[in-house]
């Protein structure tokens, strides 16, 4: 922790007080107390670790949720100074009594109150949601910033992404965004255009911004830049198909068995299956898998001129949800969105590529057959023709 009280009630913030001799004098003449629990804390002024206060060994504090690493404290201090450099009224480690939480940094900007949480280690989804709700109910807009030590890049656009990191995704102007900060490089890393390839991998555009040229508005009202990641999507999609054969999990085995029963091959499915969607993060099951289930259940035997109801399509989708063959994600910062957004976006995309058309009153008319390639070579050709033909449409809808 970086803030404590002297015995006379004076608050000492190591974000503002950096005079070593003054701190040494205060430490020799009295004790420091935790602002929340009131127990004695120790001021540590070493040369190897960042200066900080620490509860005595064996003492616990109801407000402290986890031990702070030097990486976390350094990043928190840098973010605090970054805000002060912009002339923003900010307070380090502000305790909010209404929710009994201590924000890493609380601030006021443009007549709004914000609570910054800088998270460098994993916490449970329940604690994340509890903190988020606590801030909102007490009039603070939470800004969760992920520590740079949590970013695992696998390529220029490919990132390993777990359940914990998905909690940080938030919708800004209808687009996904995730702010990251690394105190070692003093850089912000902004992830935009999040496209889940599998349950553990995403494609994303990364913007690297040095601290001194980044402003709070860049985190609150960002202007994401759309990128063409379709080539990377196709590459990762085909890798996923091969992985399903070589290292099939329980769900992949179920999928392969259903395909076999229906005399279908995962490697020769129509290119309209496994499409990227802007609302993809709502569904944990890979797009390739859940869209294949929808094809088997609904679209495979549909003929041109036939009408399908949205309720029937939705029922097929929810049946797979109930059987846990399609798994969803809880994204606390996504507003009112959910997995049905992904289903609706997929149907909208199928309209744009002229497979179905809106027939009114929640009905869709089939315009053509989804043609199954005759071989792997034929699939490669059909896939290329499909993405070449509809590239602009696919990018615009992401």
Q: How far is CA 74 from CA 79, 105, 151, 182, 209, in A?
A: 9, 13, 17, 9, 18
Check residue 5 and give its pLDDT: 80
Q: Total domain count for the chain? A: 3
Q: Identify whether residues 215 and 235 lie together within a single domain.
A: no
Task: Write the burial class of residue 98 (CB in 10 Å: 0-12 exposed, 13-18 middle, 19+ buried).
Answer: exposed
Q: Identify whether residues 163 and 78 lie together within a single domain.
A: yes
Q: Identify whether residues 209 and 267 lie together within a single domain.
A: no
Final residue before a domain boundary, out of 202, 220, 238? 220
Q: Identify whether residues 362 and 381 lie together within a single domain.
A: yes
Residue 377 lies inside a defined structural domain of this protein = yes
Q: Identify whether residues 310 and 361 lie together within a single domain.
A: yes
Check if the beta carbon of residue 295 is closer than 8 Å to that of residue 370.
yes
Note down the domain range covering 75. 70-220
Per the model's pLDDT, the better-predicted residue between 381 and 34 turns out to be 381
Q: Identify whether residues 144 and 170 lie together within a single domain.
A: yes
Quote the CA–CA distance of 33 and 43 in Å, as a whole number.
Answer: 10
Residue 152 has pLDDT above 90, yes or no: yes
Residue 384 lies inside a defined structural domain of this protein = yes
Residue 34 has pLDDT above 60, yes or no: yes
Check residue 44 and give its pLDDT: 82
Quote the CA–CA distance of 229 and 125 in Å, as a whole number.
Answer: 30
Final residue before a domain boundary, out of 220, 255, 278? 220
Q: Identify whether residues 192 and 236 lie together within a single domain.
A: no
Residue 270 lies inside a defined structural domain of this protein = yes
Task: Write the burial class of residue 25 (CB in 10 Å: 0-12 exposed, 13-18 middle, 19+ buried).
Answer: exposed
Quote the CA–CA distance of 1 and 52 in Å, as a whole number.
Answer: 6
Q: In what order do the strands lie in the sheet with 307-309?
A: 307-309, 363-366, 356-360
Check residue 226 and give its pLDDT: 63
Q: Identify whether residues 47 and 133 lie together within a single domain.
A: no
Residue 267 lies inside a defined structural domain of this protein = yes
Which stretches of 140-268 are DSSP H helices? 163-166, 216-220, 230-246, 250-261
Q: Identify whether residues 46 and 91 lie together within a single domain.
A: no
Quote the CA–CA distance of 6 and 77 in Å, as a whole number.
Answer: 21
Check residue 149 and give its pLDDT: 96
Take residue 261 and report the two structure tokens written for it: 């029963």
Final residue before a domain boundary, out of 201, 220, 239? 220
Q: How confident is the model at residue 43 (pLDDT cuts 50, 70, 90)?
A: confident
Check residue 304 and give its pLDDT: 97
pLDDT tens for each residue of 68-126:
788 998 999 999 999 999 999 999 999 999 998 999 999 999 999 999 999 999 999 99
Check residue 288 and give its pLDDT: 97
Residue 63 has pLDDT above 90, yes or no: no
Residue 65 lies inside a defined structural domain of this protein = no
Check residue 364 and give its pLDDT: 98
Q: Identify whether residues 158 and 272 lie together within a single domain.
A: no
Chain-wide mean pLDDT for the chain? Answer: 90
CATH number, domain with residue 96? 3.40.1350.10
Check residue 27 and give its pLDDT: 77
Check residue 172 and give its pLDDT: 79
Q: Identify whether residues 9 and 135 lie together within a single domain.
A: no
Which whole number is the average pLDDT over 202-219?
92
Q: At a CB cut-off of 8 Å and minimum separation 6, what does 5 contact? A: 11, 12, 32, 33, 34, 35
Residue 225 lies inside a defined structural domain of this protein = no
Residue 160 has pLDDT above 90, yes or no: yes
Residue 65 has pLDDT above 60, yes or no: no
Q: Identify whether residues 240 and 346 lie together within a single domain.
A: yes
Q: At a CB cut-off of 8 Å and minimum separation 6, what does 392 contact? A: none
Quote the CA–CA distance of 356 and 181 in Å, as a whole number.
Answer: 44
Quote the CA–CA distance of 330 and 250 in Å, as a whole number.
Answer: 22
Residue 62 lies inside a defined structural domain of this protein = no
The CA-based dihedral angle spanning residues 150, 156, 161, 165, taken in that order and rounded to the nearest 10 degrees: 50
Check residue 62 and give its pLDDT: 61
DSSP state of 69: P
pLDDT tens for each residue of 288-323:
999 999 999 999 999 999 999 999 999 999 999 999
Check residue 47 and give its pLDDT: 65
Q: How confident is the model at residue 18 (pLDDT cuts 50, 70, 90)?
A: low
pLDDT tens for each residue of 182-203:
999 999 999 988 999 999 999 9
**For the whole model, what pTM was predicted?**
0.88
């Amino acid at each position: 922790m970086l803030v404590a009280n002297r015995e006379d009630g004076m608050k000492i913030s190591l974000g503002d007080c950096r005079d070593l001799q003054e701190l040494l004098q205060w430490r020799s003449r009295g004790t420091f107390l935790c602002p929340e629990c009131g127990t004695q804390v120790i001021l540590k002024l070493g040369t190897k670790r960042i200066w900080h206060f620490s509860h005595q060994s064996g003492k616990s504090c109801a407000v402290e949720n986890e031990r702070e690493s030097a990486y976390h404290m350094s990043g928190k201090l840098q973010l605090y100074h970054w805000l002060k450099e912009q002339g923003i009224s900010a307070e380090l480690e502000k305790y909010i009594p209404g929710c009994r939480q201590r924000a890493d940094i609380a601030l006021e900007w443009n007549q709004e109150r914000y609570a910054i949480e800088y998270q460098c280690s994993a916490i449970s989804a329940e604690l994340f949601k509890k903190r988020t709700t606590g801030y909102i109910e007490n009039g603070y807009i939470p800004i969760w910033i992920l520590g740079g030590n949590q970013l695992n890049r696998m390529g220029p656009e490919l990132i390993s992404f777990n359940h914990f990191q998905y909690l940080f995704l938030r919708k800004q102007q209808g687009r996904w965004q995730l702010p990251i900060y690394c105190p070692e490089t003093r850089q912000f890393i902004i992830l935009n255009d999040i496209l889940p390839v599998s349950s553990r991998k995403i494609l994303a555009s990364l913007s690297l911004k040095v601290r001194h040229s980044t402003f709070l508005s860049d985190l609150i009202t960002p202007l994401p830049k759309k990128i063409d990641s379709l080539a990377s999507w196709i590459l990762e999609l085909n890798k996923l198909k091969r992985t399903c054969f070589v290292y099939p999990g329980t769900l992949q085995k179920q999928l392969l068995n259903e395909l076999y029963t229906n005399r279908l091959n995962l490697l020769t499915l129509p290119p309209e299956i496994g499409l990227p969607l802007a609302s993809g993060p709502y569904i944990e099951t890979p797009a390739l898998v859940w869209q294949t289930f929808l094809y088997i259940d609904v679209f495979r035997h549909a003929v041109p001129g036939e009408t399908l109801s949205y309720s029937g399509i939705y029922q097929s989708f929810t049946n797979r949800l109930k059987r846990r063959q399609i798994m969803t994600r809880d994204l606390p910062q996504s507003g009112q969105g959910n997995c049905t957004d992904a289903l609706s976006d997929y149907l909208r995309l199928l309209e744009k590529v002229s497979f179905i058309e809106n027939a009114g009153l929640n009905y869709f008319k089939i315009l053509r057959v989804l043609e199954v390639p005759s071989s792997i070579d034929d699939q490669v050709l059909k896939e290329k023709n499909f993405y070449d033909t509809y590239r602009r449409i696919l990018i615009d809808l992401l």
